[in-house]
Structure 1
Amino acid sequence: MCDRFSYAVGVNSEGERLTIGGWGSRLIEDGSEYYIGLSAIKAAISEYEMLGGRTQLTEAIKDKLKVKNLNELKYILYYKTLNDKKIQSLSKEVLKCARQGDRISLNIINSAADKLFNMADILIRRLNMYDKKYSLCLTGSIVCFDEYITNPLCDKIYNRYDNIEVFTHKIMVTKE
């Protein structure tokens, strides 16, 4: 299962349905593994060009993409075609680095959680889902980020809405 798409779907008590997101990775799916992987590449490039802080992601990306230095990344990006699945796979490197305390990796994951919350929040507000209890199911391989994405996302939902119950549906994640 690939999380190149992130989206939220809601149905209110009146039967009104709304979908937010799901436009595909070419438009940078906010909060998805693709978004996280692309953010990792940007962070590594920022460090390489001395525009951003030091991050363990630089070495992790070089190892994963099998490049000696980040300047080779230009070739992979534009001529060898770094595909969506490979970019998405870099999200696992972000999680590894975050678990080791890498500040930039943690910021990327926090940003993803914020973007997922924003989608859910907009959906709840646009569908006026205040009249009764609703369930919010988090699914996809992004829930494997547990305490890094799922927990902050749930906290944000519970802090804003007392009528929304959040649960997760973990899926089997296939090997690359």
Structure 2
Amino acid sequence: MKVYLGLDGGGTKTDASALNEAGELLARYIGGPSNPHSATLGVALTRVMSAIDGLLERLQTDVADMTSICLAVSGFSTKEEQACLKNAVLQHLLKRGISIPVFIQSEGQISLMAALGNSFGTLIISGTGSICYGYSPDGSCHRTGGWGHLLGDEGSGYRIGLRAVQTVMRSHDAAQPPTVMTGMIMEEYCLQQITDLKEYIYHPSHTKAEIAAFSKLCIGAAEAGDPAATAILSEEAEALSDTAAALLRQNPVLMTLPVVLSGSVFRYSRVFYRLFCQRLLKFSSALEIVDGSHGAPPSTGAARLGKLLLDETDGKSKHHHRQQ
């Protein structure tokens, strides 16, 4: 039996999957965040290796069955960073007696593979952070957004969560009308009064993920019809759709390919999803929008893409030998 490993690492979790040759899921493991910009490089690499080990332990199959591994870890974007990641994974696997090809791809490519079965099209991610990717059939890659929580991340869980806590404090000051998010936050975080939120927010150990977690309460408040929460989702959906439209405008070939929506904000907020689609379809009503937020996880797309890349490599090798 041939086994293909796939890993999707990000600012919230590291998701690893193993598939057989028929594409059936054999095992899955979810570990902690592995984006090096959310922690240190050493911590990120440790969590990647832990996810691989966790997957292999759940898989419980012969090491000889391992065929390839494909990884996409956000934050490892430069050639130097990807080379570091690839070498670390190679060395880690060798220690376990596993010698297989290691492919490093982008989060966009593995998500498109999971949703569409191929790795070209447009991908809009709204999770802890946000980014828009475009992959053309000629192999070229384009992107807009993805500048992090200080420079960008419009329409992300972080931005929505941050605006939610800012809104309840402005509501407390009577600078904005009352919002049900105030009571929801006090109950969820066991606060005696909303001013206790300050201590929680500024605690030095809290990361982007803790701020992004407030987006769930904003989403719930919007579903209940809270005007302040709905305004936040509407404005953030509009901002992200404008970023997506900029990508499509710069690369007209992408207008003919599917647009896949992925990430926790699209998955959990139908309000955000609907507002985003409405805005983007105003830019181009002919776009095919695919909901990838409830489909196969990107880690399975990584495993499938690893199989495809290995098949292509083997095919080129056989062609080369025939020519000789």
Q: TM-score, normalised by structure 2?
A: 0.48
Matches within 5 A, 1:57-76: 57-76=181-200
User: Per-residue displacement from partner, 1:73-110 (whole Å, max 9, x unpaired)?
Assistant: 22222245443222111111112111211100111111
- Does residue 93 in structure 1 map to residue 217 in structure 2? yes
Asked which structure has the greater RCO (Cα within 8 Å, sep 6+), the reply is 1
Distance 1:66 1:8 in 2: 36
Q: Which runs of 5+ in 2 are unaligned?
A: 1-9, 13-126, 298-324
- Does residue 50 in structure 1 map to residue 169 in structure 2? no
Distance 2:253 2:172 in 1: 46
Aligned counterpart, 1:141:
264
Seq. identity, %: 22
**Deviation larger for 61-70 or 79-88:** 79-88
Q: Does the CA-based 8 Å contact 1:4-1:24 persist in structure 2?
A: no
Give the secondary structure class of the aligned counterpart of 1:164. Answer: coil
Distance 1:14 1:52 in 2: 50
- Does residue 161 in structure 1 map to residue 287 in structure 2? no
Give the secondary structure class of the aligned counterpart of 1:94. Answer: helix
Distance 2:290 2:253 in 1: 17
Give the residue type in structure 1 aligned to 2:292. Answer: H
Aligned counterpart, 2:301:
none
| RMSD value, Cα | 2.3
Change beyond 3 A, Cα 1:28–1:71: farther
When Rg is computed on C-alpha atoms for both structures, the one with the higher figure is 2
Q: Does the CA-based 8 Å contact 1:140-1:170 persist in structure 2?
A: yes
Change beyond 3 A, Cα 1:68–1:28: farther
Q: TM-score, normalised by structure 1?
A: 0.85
Query: Which of 2, 18, 36 pairs up with 2:142?
Result: 18
Distance 1:146 1:78 in 2: 27
Q: Which has the higher strand share?
A: 2
Q: Which runs of 5+ in 1 are unaligned?
A: none
